[in-house]
Amino acid sequence: MKLFVDTARLADIEDALKRGFVRGVTTNPSLFAKEPKGNFNEHIGKIVELIKQYQPDAHLSVEVFSKDPQEILRQAETFQETFKHPQLSIKVPIGWDELEVIRKLSRKGFSVNCTCNMSVSQALMAAAAGASFVSLFWGRISDGGTKKNFAQQKNELIKKGAMKEEDFDPAYVVPAVRSLLDSSYPDTQIIVGSIRNGTDVIAAGLAGAHIVTVPPKFFPDMILHFKTDEVVGQFLKDFENWLK
């Protein structure tokens, strides 16, 4: 299981890359919208420069910002020509029309990270269409089953037999996708995003994610432990006393 950092914030990307524990960067239009307004291409270029500086073989996913198939194809070509990063993946949201785009891009040699997947069938179809990565949204999958404002849509899908209750549990969806990909599309990897706390990271990994992309705000939770602080303090104090 690999860790990616899920942000467009340059300082957080650098903090993670220089510590060597992340193997990639994922961005999306909303993550960009959190950054100071600026030039999109220049911002991605700065991310690529950080990758070159610290982890030259690190993955970079850049999401298109259109639902029009022709525009998606154009943006993908532009990203590839502009950013020239060998490990660049084009993030294309899952959708009926987007499947044809995924096929076309993968046939042309693009690495496609099909994103916004919430169900087993979405991820399976994306992999079958040629996606190199399928991004499953752990937090939002769960939201679909728990948030009251989605109750009617959820119940309609269950009533017509399109989904079952467990399809709204990411701890069911991720292993199911992993099992199907392992048997039919072994070259496609699962990226789990939409992480809501540090425990989701390990849960997603144990569920079968090849990669978990983590918002940098959870890294302190993942690295800190009060018993570690205690024992390191004790070791240093004991040795200091011995040296006296």
Nearest approach in angstroms of CB 102 to ligand E4P is 16
CA dihedral sign of residues 149, 32, 194, 168: positive
Query: For residue 171, what is the enclosing H or E element?
Result: helix 170-184
CA dihedral sign of residues 216, 179, 61, 88: positive
Nearest to ligand E4P of 125, 141 (CB atom):
141
Q: List the catalytic residues.
A: 91
Of 139, 145, 175, 216, which one interacts with ligand E4P (CB under 6 A)? 139
Nearest approach in angstroms of CB 200 to ligand E4P is 10
When asked if residue 55 is in the footprint of ligand E4P (CB under 6 A), the reply is: no
Tokens of 230: 């205690």
Of 7, 28, 55, 80, which one interacts with ligand E4P (CB under 6 A)? 28
Neighbouring residues of 94: CB distance < 8 A, sequence distance ≥ 6: 114, 115, 116, 117, 122, 123, 125, 126
When asked if residue 95 is in the footprint of ligand E4P (CB under 6 A), the reply is: no
Nearest to ligand E4P of 125, 204 (CB atom):
204
Nearest to ligand E4P of 2, 140 (CB atom):
140
Which amino acid is residue 203, in one-letter code?
A
